[in-house]
Structures are given as structure tokens and as C-alpha cells.
Amino acid sequence: MDIFGDLFMGLSIAVTPVNMLYLLAGAVIGMIVGTIPGFGPSAGLAILLPVTFGMDPVPAIMMLAAIYYGAMYGGTITSILLNTPGESATVASTFDGFPLAKNGRAGPALVMQAIASFVGGTVGVILITILAPMFALVSRSFGPPEYFLLAIMGLLTLIVMIGEHWKLGVISALIGLALGTVGVDLETGQGRYTFGSAELIGGIYFIPIAIGLFGLGELFYAFYKGMHKTGTGGIVQYDKEKRFWPTRHDWMSTRMTMARNSILGFVVGVIPGAGATIASLMAYSTERSISKNKDNFGKGEMAGLVAPETANNAASSGAMIPLLTLGIPGSASTAVLLAAFLMWGLRPGPLFMEQNPELAWGLIASMYLGNMALLAISIFAIPLFVQIIKVPYRVLGPTIVVICTLGTFSVHASFIETYLMFAAGIIGFFMRLYGFSPAALVLALVLGPLAEEALRQTMTISRGSFGIFFDRSASLWIIGVTFALLVLLPLLNRMGKNAGDAEKAGS
Amino acid sequence: MRIAFLIVVLAGAIFYTYIAFADLAFLTRTGRLGPGFFPRLVGVSMVVLLIWATLDAWREGSGNAPATGSWRDVMTLMGLAIIYAVLLRLFGGIPATVVYLGLTLATINRGRHLQNVILTVTMPIIIYLLFDKLLNANMPPALFELPF
């Protein structure tokens, strides 16, 4: 019953005019960011994080979280109308979303994706409400060995999901870990890689790197791919269709799809490193394999759109669990969210929900409201987002550079950090071009200092023996789960990718 | 190009590892793990994997090279971004933004003069109102004040 009491308390905090305004603003901004091809939630969060500096923590975190899950809603609009996913988590939505639009069913597809996103997101938040306090309770028994193992688990699973370019994924993570060692060593006070610079004593700040890699890097890559030259001639004109709303059959045939994939997406989202992309591909693959209409997949089957949409939104909710209860981000987006928490002096972890109930439950309650708002926005503001899709990259590009630059400077009024952001942007472009993983770098940069501190504490406790990892039951559990994930995830990843390849080959 | 990028990263990794071994102690005076422990672990792993990846790329040759893209456009955009970084230091946030937007739009959005002028004027105003007035955020100060 405590959960309901806490949730009502959270609702009372979230439902104030100012907080609701920021929540709605976050939802709309998230959707806009989602509609820009190449710009996912991590880019949106990184670019807009500095904008929230002048705000109070509660509305700021609510707004950032709304940008995070709002981007999942927005990313699908381009998948359906343009056959261009807004971000990687909505790739699976193109498989049946675009064929539906081409078949003259863009309106029903857009409405059903909004409903599926709402169901996935809301089921995800319900599961957070129930499970987050339990996770927090369990994680209270965790010590440095468990935190080290969890950080490694997050990085390993992310790298495993990269697949064939795993070597480049590990190198990306190692670069992130190396950048994380810059600054004064907290245990001995010795400077590391500072080269006498006062600006580097505090270490390399995470935000300029994230903005550079995800903001500028993605923009440069989009220009490289020639997206600034392509017009929007291929956009499906949904407003000329006779029927906008889904049929009764659309609703009835996808009820169980939504139920199944909400749970699947949430579970995948909780796993550090897995995330919304793999959840959506897995959901598509699973749904196709159990469907009676297997042959219609890839040709405009509504369940083929609903499954990945439900799963990616449930996964983005699930990813909040390790963030809130362990302080360990499972993805690049939640790593940026963690940076936001830290910026306000808040350290997510086992005691976070107990020590900051207003913020934690205010955030969870706001996610219920945010999903409702996004459902309405997704359906009734589609014409607005279609107009945004039409803004060409050659106009959007310079604007993004300006926002990234001034946003980075506004954090610490530091020119060095601004230059670092530009450098990260250029490096990020080459990383994307040659198959490296900017997400692994950012995640490692956040997890690196935590992992190093935990490892050194562990070695101090155990007097230099690695046997401590096998003496503690919690550590053994984490090692077991990590091994299971390392075996299972590549198989599931391959299954999802095969389904995607089959659709591409068939279409 | 891929090999060149890998070699540049490898050079950085070797330098990082050299510092880890030369300047940072593996153990503290009390026998605990020192500031060099983690960097050595990371550095050596990075060097080994980068050599492996470079050899792989060398063996594959140009067969695995990414498809040709708009190199000229992306280099132009990068160059303009670097010019913006320099202008920011010299003339401050808003004047530098006006110059950068004018220059960039004239380069990549050719022929649409009216649209470019409107964007060059309105965007900095919006940015100024958002960052300076609404959010009270830091804006880059000018090294040389402009007379206007």
C-alpha cells in the first residue's frame, strides 16, 4: 500500500501548473527531436540538458524524462511516412509501418503506433512503480564488488549487442574508460593526464563529450550521407486518405501483441546495455514467429508495427530501473539522464527513492501523465510534426551547431569544454563512419570512474584477492546473469536482425 | 582512411599507456592499488585491440571501406564549425552566431537568399532571448567588443 501512497504523493508534486507546463514542453520537444532522422533521445537529451540548468530539479528532471520517452513516440512518424527511422529504436517500425502507409493506411498506422507507444510506456511505468522499490531494497546489500560487476555487465552487454564490430565496440568503451581517468585521483590526490592544465584537474566533463558525439557527430554523419540534399518528396501524404482512424479489426488483432511486447520490452530495457533498439527488433521477430499471418509481415501487417512500438517504449521505461535504483545507466540516454541528476547534486542508487521521495515519485508519476499527453499529441498534432519533417537538413544543420555550442558553453562558461565538444563531434563522425560505438564510449565515460573506484575499494577489502567476487552470493548472481546475457543476447540480437534482413529482402 | 583513423587512435593509445607506466604508480606507498593500476589495464587492452583491429583493416584492404559520401560537404560543415569556435572567442556569442549562420547558410543553402537572411537574423534573436533572458545562462563573452 505504501506504493500507492508514494504514487499519490508523486502525483501531487507533478500536477502543478509549472511542472505540467515543463512536462508538456518536454514531451513536444522529445517528439520533435524524435522526428529528426539520426537524432534519438540521447542526442536530444545531451543538446537540451544545458537548457534546464536555470530550473528547479523536479520540473527539470520531469522535462528531461519527457524528452527521453517523447523521442520514442516521435521517431516512428518518419518511419511510417518517410521509411526513414528517426532513430535506431524505430528501425523495426519501418518494416510494416511504411508498407501500411504505402497501402493507403498511414492514418490508422500513425494512430496505432501512438496507442502502442502509450500502452508500452504506461505498462512500463506501472512495472517501474511496482518493481523499483523492490530493486532498491535488494540493491541495498550491494557493495563495491557488486557495483564493479554491474558496471562491467552494462558495458559487456552493450558491446555484445554491437555484434560483428565487437572489437571496435570494446575499443570505444576503452577510449571512454581512458577519458574517465583524466583528473585528480581521489584516493592519492595525484594528477592523471592533466599535463599541468587547471581545466583538467576536475576531469573531462561528460556533457561536452556527449553533446559532441551525439549532436555534432550525428549531424556531420547525416551530411556525409547526403541527407541535406534529399528533399521530402518521398513523404506519404496521409491527409489525402479517406480513413484516418483504425478499424475494429486493427484494435482487436493487436490487443495481445501490445500485452506481450510491453512485458518483453520492459524486461529487455531493464538489462543494462540492451535497450530499446534490441527490444523492438526482438519484439518484431517474436511477433512474426508466433503470428498466424506470418506471410503478411513486411507487407503492411498492423501487428508488425504495433509490436516494436510497444516494446521500444516499454524498454525506455524499463531502463529507468537500473538508473534509479542502482545509479547505473544502461544506455547512452540514461547516462545523460544520470548526468542531469548529478548536476543537481542527486546521486541515484539504492537509497535514492527513500532519501528523495518527492523527486523519485514525482518523476514516476509524471511519466504516467507524460504518456497520456504524448498519446494526445501523437494523434492530434501529427500535421505539425509532418511540417517539421519537411524542414530540410541544410537549414536544421547550422541551427543544431549553434544550439550545441552555446548549450555546452552555458554549462561551465568554459571555452575549453566548448572546444572539447567540437573535437568530440569530429571524432564522433569518424567513429560512426568506421563502425565504432559512440554510445559505448559515453557509457564507459560515465561508468569508468565508478568502476575504477569500486574495483580499488574491492581490492582493498579483499587485500588484493579477486576471490571476493566468488565469495559473495550477490556477486555470484551478477556474474551468472552476465554470462547468461552474454550467451543469450547475441542469439536474440541475431534473431531480430535476421527478421529485419528478411523484411528488407522481401520488400 | 579507416586504417589512418585507427593508426591515429593507436598512437593516442600508446601515448596514454606510456604515461600510465612512466608517471603513474601501480601501487600506493601503503600497498593499495595506485593511480596507475586502472590506466595501465585500460591502456594495454586498448593498444592490443587497436593493433588487432588495424591488422584486420589492413587485411581487408579497401573492400570493407564505407560507401563514398559527401566528403566535401561534411568537411565544409566541419570547417565552418571550427570558424564558429574561433569567432565565438573573438566576438562573443551573438555576433559570432550571426556571422556563422550567414556564412553557413550562404554556403549550404545556396540561392535561397531571403530565407537565409530571415534565419540569420531571427535565430540569434531567439537564441539570445532563450539563453540570456529566459534561462539566464552563460553566453560566450567577446575578446574584442564590436562597435555595434
Closest-CA residue in chain A for B71?
A224
pLDDT of residue A427: 93
- B36 to chain A, closest Cα gap in Å: 9
Contacts of B136 in chain A (CB under 8 A): 54
Q: Are B75 and B59 within one domain?
A: no
Across the interface, whether the CB atoms of A171 and B28 are under 8 A apart is answered no
Across the interface, whether the CB atoms of A415 and B140 are under 8 A apart is answered yes
Across the interface, whether the CB atoms of A399 and B88 are under 8 A apart is answered no
Burial class (CB in 10 A: 0-12, 13-18, 19+), A490: middle
Contacts of A460 in chain B (CB under 8 A): 32-33
Tell me the pTM: 0.81
Task: Count CB neighbours of A187 within 10 A.
Answer: 16
In the chain, the amino acid numbered A202 is: G
Task: Count CB neighbours of A469 within 10 A.
Answer: 17
pLDDT of residue B20: 93
**By mean pLDDT, which of A275-289, A318-332, B59-73 is the weakest?**
B59-73
Assess whether pLDDT exceeds 60 at residue A79: yes
pLDDT of residue A237: 62
**Does B40 reside within a domain?**
yes
Q: Could you say which of A167, A188, A226 has the minimum Cβ distance to residue B49?
A: A167
**Does B142 reside within a domain?**
no
Across the interface, whether the CB atoms of B42 and A51 are under 8 A apart is answered no
Contacts of A459 in chain B (CB under 8 A): 32-33
Closest-CA residue in chain B for A175?
B46
Q: B64, B90, B107: which is the final residue of a domain?
A: B64
Q: Are B76 and B58 within one domain?
A: no
Q: Could you say which of A412, A426, A452 has the minimum Cβ distance to residue B38?
A: A452
What is the number of domains present in chain B? 2
pLDDT of residue A57: 85
Assess whether pLDDT exceeds 80 at residue A408: yes
Compute the average pLDDT of residues A248-271. 89
pLDDT of residue B66: 57
Classify A494 as helix, strand or coil.
helix
Assess whether pLDDT exceeds 80 at residue A294: no
Q: Which of B87, B101, B131, B134 to mutate to test the interface with A (most CBs of A within 10 A)?
A: B131
Q: How confident is the model at residue A498 (pLDDT cuts 50, 70, 90)?
A: low
**By mean pLDDT, which of B26-35, B38-47, B101-110 is the weakest?**
B26-35
Compute the average pLDDT of residues A334-361. 84
Note the pLDDT tens digit of each residue in A8-17. 888 888 889 9
Q: Could you say which of A185, A224, A452 has the minimum Cβ distance to residue B74?
A: A224
Q: B64, B85, B106: which is the final residue of a domain?
A: B64
CA distances from A143 to A349, A448, A454, A469, A476 (A): 12, 17, 8, 11, 13
Contacts of A422 in chain B (CB under 8 A): 81-82, 85
Closest-CA residue in chain B for A165?
B53
C-alpha–C-alpha distance, residues A89 and A82, integer Å: 16
Note the pLDDT tens digit of each residue in A68-78. 888 878 878 87
* Residue range of the domain that includes B129: 71-134
pLDDT of residue B73: 87
Compute the average pLDDT of residues A32-54. 78
- A87 to chain B, closest Cα gap in Å: 20
Q: Could you say which of B13, B66, B138 has the minimum Cβ distance to residue A409?
A: B138
Q: B11, B41, B64: which is the final residue of a domain?
A: B64
Across the interface, whether the CB atoms of B5 and A220 are under 8 A apart is answered no
**By mean pLDDT, which of A239-243, A253-257, A396-400, B38-42 is the weakest?**
A239-243
Contacts of B101 in chain A (CB under 8 A): 398, 402
Assess whether pLDDT exceeds 70 at residue B82: yes
C-alpha–C-alpha distance, residues B35 and A194, integer Å: 13
pLDDT of residue A496: 65
Q: Where are the domains of chain A?
A: 2-506
pLDDT averaged over every residue in chain A = 84
**Does B143 reside within a domain?**
no
Assess whether pLDDT exceeds 60 at residue A493: yes
Q: Are B48 and B78 within one domain?
A: no
The phi-psi region of residue A298 (left if phi > 0; otherwise alpha if psi is between -120 and 50; otherwise beta) is: left
Contacts of A418 in chain B (CB under 8 A): 85, 88, 140
pLDDT of residue B19: 94
Q: Could you say which of A171, A192, A455 has the minimum Cβ distance to residue B53?
A: A171
The larger pLDDT score, comparing residue A231 to residue A130, is at: A130
Contacts of B53 in chain A (CB under 8 A): 167-168, 171
Q: Report the percentage of chain A scoring pLDDT > 90.
A: 14
Across the interface, whether the CB atoms of B74 and A187 are under 8 A apart is answered no
pLDDT of residue B41: 93
